[in-house]
Amino acid sequence: MALFLFFVIAGPYVFSPGAAQAQNYSFTNVQIEGNQRVDASTILSYAGIARGETVSAAQVNQAYQNIVESGLFEEVEIEPRGGTLFIRVVEYPTINVINFEGNRMIKDEDLEQIIQSQSRRVYNPSLAEADAAAIVTAYEQSGRLAATVEPRIIRRSDNRVDLAFEIVEGRGVEVERISFVGNRFYSDGRLRRVLGTKQAGLLRRLIRSDTFVADRIEFDKQVLQDFYVSRGFIDFQVLSVTSELTRNRDAFLITFNLREGQSFTFGEVTASSDLAEVDVDLFQEAIRVHPGVTYSPALVDNTIARLERLALQQGLNFIRVDPRVTRNDRDLTLDVDFRIVKGPRVFVERIDIEGNATTLDRVIRRQFRTVEGDPFNPREIRETAERIRALGFFSTADVNAREGTSPDQVIVDVNVEEAPTGSLSFGLNYSVTNGAGAAVSFSESNFLGRGQYLSFSLTSGVDNSVTSFTFAEPAFLSRDVTFRFSASYGESSNQDSTKYDTRRVSISPSLEFPTGEFTRLALRYTIAETDLYNYTGASPIIQAEADEEALLTSSVGYTYSYDTRRTGLNPNAGVLLRFNQNFGGLGGDTKFVETTALVASETTVMNEDVTLRAEFEGGLLNFLDGNSRVTERYFLNGKMRGFDNNGIGPRDLNTPSNEALGGNMFAVVRLEADFPIGVPEEYGIRGGLFADVGSVWDLDNDNGGSVDDGMNLRAAVGFSIFWTTPIGPLRFNFSDAVQKESYDEVRNFDLTISTRF
């Protein structure tokens, strides 16, 4: 309307070529009407016309355009009348409130972060339309491709409006099927487990990863690339990805077209250098990769990092390791020569950190292996970025280097965005052993922004309750040393099964630190008091132990572990070795030596569709100045399937309930395999077979030989159903005890949280 009026009034001057050139104006007065909030001087400044200045019709037209483009006015009219320029405006209203209607998937507070329109600001229809488009984009990213958003205004008094975004969310468009073309080495099921996008399954209402999100496809292409290249397929390509709507237009069919190529292994792996100060033999010995190992860029990067660290240890600065790869197509190998060269003399000028509103600077800085003034190493900066992301404190973390105040200086910029790190939960729990119970827990992994871990939990069941507290400082004394303080208090009242009650309170500080690339050592001190009381059974062995006062135990111990599950040479296999000893007698009422060990390995076969695991675990408890008590002895609870809680081991068969006594020694071997069982992968269900063989034996007091405390082997076999659910990975075990004693108590079914060693 405003533009039409302007054309009627000023059209002859603007569009007539002769007039546009001949007609000029000189205004001695400017009269502005209709403005309420915007000052007249501001409108005149937008127009760009000064009093007494000679202007053309084209300049008058430009003044009109300038005022319109300010975005402050709903209508604008400019009319020259002799020596006076009349400017009439109708201001846009002010936004009173902003409402969102029809939204359920995205909360109001999240939508407020998306839009640019704000309350108590001038309403702009163009901005409102842009906000509606931004909301639609947010819904598309969550899989709601049919979402529509319409901005509406409701007129109020005093030139105000309420702005409402009417949202029709539509239905989420699911991924009905994900298929692959060109994959020969790995099955569709194995590749689907790699992707972030999932097929719609049984729990589709709880799992959002089965909705179609176009941006997620690019991520899936990258993870497929990483998956194949880490297994030696250096020529792998995702040729194309097609996404087709089903006939009913309510789901997508996604097809990945792949070119796998061949898997390469390492050929000759050498170190070389032309630098006189470099001892090549020393660097050659530091290489852990050997011919025949499946080629992986991660192994190359790890070797480069190891060699560059060795150079620093040798006092060699500005050393770079340049991997030079020679391809041998005949035998499908890659020869790698780690060339040790001099890099540019560049130093770190400073490290700037931004975005950490809660986390202290020092928590981020201690992830750096370099400080201001050290030689600059691009690889170290990339590894630092990974360490910062691995903290789990930030939703995004970017580490970049830029030129400093001189060409030989760089400034390292760290930009992070804080993420929630604490949780408070209330819930119910259930176990086959202890029945139903309630639990409340609090945990904070970045306590007060110091990177410290703090947790408190209270679990109460039918017959027991446990309260625990843990505090951990991961950089004790600014070193790669974790200080941990744990305290717990627990009570049990299992009169139906054990015929006695127990009470235990313990405090344990510890230190843990790395001793090698794959090894760690933990040192600890533990003081605990254990009380055995209210015994109502008939075993003279337990009765003698219950007659004792509460025992105070003071012990020191250590745990040495070797773990290659995440950083070893084979990404599909891993080994864990754990050796643990505790020495009691540093004060307290008992003297003992306790030794336990765990050896476990895992590997995948049949193109990674089947996972095989083998574990051996054993323990020895040796009391030096008396007899062990039932509260300290082993029962294999949770360590051997097929048997009930306290179901195996020495028993006092002279009592009415054949009371379990436990043993000072135990050993168990666990073998299992898990594999697909033909159920669609989107259901998250796999099957497994297992076999456990073990025993608990040896008593200090066998009541004159009336109790059999010999090593009698037990064995159980069975099958498992693994189900990955939003509440956690569940495991259903169905077992049969094929080797047992007549007095053992078996359990043919068990439901647990699925865990890995």
Residue 756 has pLDDT above 90, yes or no: no
In three-state form (DSSP H/G/I as H, E/B as E, the rest C), the secondary structure along 672-738 is EEEECCCCCHHHCEEEEEEEEEEEEECCCCCCCCCCCCCCCCEEEEEEEEEEEECCEEEEEEEEEEE
Q: What is the pLDDT of residues 176-212, one digit of tens each?
A: 889 999 999 998 888 988 888 888 765 544 445 567 7
**3-state DSSP assignment of residue 222:** helix
**What's the pLDDT band for 7 if we cut at 50, 70, 90?**
very low
Residue 582 vs residue 169, higher pLDDT: 582
Other C-beta atoms within 10 Å of 242: how many? 12
563 forms beta bridges with: 576
Half-sphere exposure of 560 (CA within 13 A, CB side): 5
- Cβ–Cβ < 8 Å for 629, 542: no
Give dist(CA 201, CA 2) in Å, integer: 57
Give dist(CA 348, CA 414) in Å, integer: 13
Give dist(CA 416, CA 395) in Å, integer: 8
Give dist(CA 343, CA 356) in Å, integer: 33
**What's the pLDDT band for 726 if we cut at 50, 70, 90?**
low
CA distance from start to end of the chain:
75
Half-sphere exposure of 84 (CA within 13 A, CB side): 7
Tokens linked to 422: 């604490």
**What's the pLDDT band for 161 if we cut at 50, 70, 90?**
confident
- Cβ–Cβ < 8 Å for 637, 662: no
Residue 604 has pLDDT above 60, yes or no: yes
Q: What is the pLDDT of residues 266-320, one digit of tens each?
A: 999 999 999 999 999 999 999 989 999 999 998 999 899 899 989 988 988 889 9
Q: Fold for domain 265-342?
A: Ubiquitin-like (UB roll) (3.10.20)
* Mean pLDDT of the residues in the chain: 87
Q: What is the pLDDT of residues 635-691, one digit of tens each?
A: 999 899 999 989 999 999 999 889 999 999 999 999 999 999 988 777 778 999 999
Q: What is the pLDDT of residues 231-265, one digit of tens each?
A: 999 999 999 999 887 777 678 889 999 999 999 99
Give residue 4's pLDDT: 36
- Amino acid at position 662, single letter: G
CATH classification of 494-753, choosing from 3.40.50.880, 3.40.50.300, 2.40.160.50, 3.30.565.10? 2.40.160.50
**What's the pLDDT band for 11 if we cut at 50, 70, 90?**
very low
Q: What is the pLDDT of residues 66-114, one digit of tens each?
A: 888 887 787 888 888 878 888 888 878 888 899 999 888 888 888 888 8
C-alpha 693: how far from chain center: 36
Q: What's the DSSP call for residue 549? A: P
Strand order in the sheet with 251-259: 174-181, 251-259, 237-245
Give residue 568's pLDDT: 60
Q: Which residue carries 């704000």 as its tokens? A: 118
Give residue 495's pLDDT: 66
Give residue 202's pLDDT: 58
What are phi and psi for residue 491, nearest 5 degrees? -130, 145
Helices then strands, counting H and E runs in the chain, come out as: 13, 35
- Amino acid at position 235, single letter: D
Q: What average pLDDT does the segment 5-10 reach?
A: 37
- Cβ–Cβ < 8 Å for 203, 138: no
Give residue 200's pLDDT: 73
Q: Return the biggest CA–CA distance within the chain.
A: 128
Give dist(CA 63, CA 675) in Å, integer: 75
Nearest by Cα to 48 from 38, 58, 61, 63: 63
Give residue 571's pLDDT: 67
533 forms beta bridges with: 501
pTM reported for the whole predicted model: 0.74
Give residue 226's pLDDT: 92
Give dist(CA 79, CA 64) in Å, integer: 10
Tokens linked to 381: 């900066």
CATH classification of 94-168, choosing from 3.40.50.720, 3.40.50.2000, 3.10.20.310, 3.40.50.970? 3.10.20.310
Give me the helices (H) in 266-374, please. 280-286, 297-313, 361-365
For CATH 2.40.160.50, the residue range(s) in the chain are 494-753
Give dist(CA 531, CA 744) in Å, integer: 27
Nearest by Cα to 147 from 67, 198, 237, 211: 211
Give dist(CA 677, CA 169) in Å, integer: 37
Nearest by Cα to 178 from 142, 227, 211, 145: 211
CA angle 720, 647, 543 (to 5 degrees): 155
Q: Per this entry, what is the length of the chain?
A: 757
Nearest by Cα to 539 from 666, 699, 741: 699
**What's the pLDDT band for 48 if we cut at 50, 70, 90?**
confident
Rounded to the nearest 10 degrees, the angle between the axes of helix 57-69 and helix 2-15 is 160
CATH classification of 2-91, choosing from 3.40.190.10, 1.20.140.10, 3.10.20.310, 3.30.2270.10? 3.10.20.310
**What's the pLDDT band for 122 if we cut at 50, 70, 90?**
confident
Q: What average pLDDT does the segment 600-613 reach?
A: 90
Other C-beta atoms within 10 Å of 145: how many? 20
Give dist(CA 315, CA 324) in Å, integer: 24
Q: Fold for domain 174-259?
A: Ubiquitin-like (UB roll) (3.10.20)
For CATH 3.10.20.310, the residue range(s) in the chain are 2-91, 94-168, 174-259, 265-342, 347-418
* Domain 347-418, CATH homologous superfamily name and number: membrane protein fhac (3.10.20.310)
Tokens linked to 543: 């009765």
- Cβ–Cβ < 8 Å for 684, 714: no
Give dist(CA 325, CA 299) in Å, integer: 13
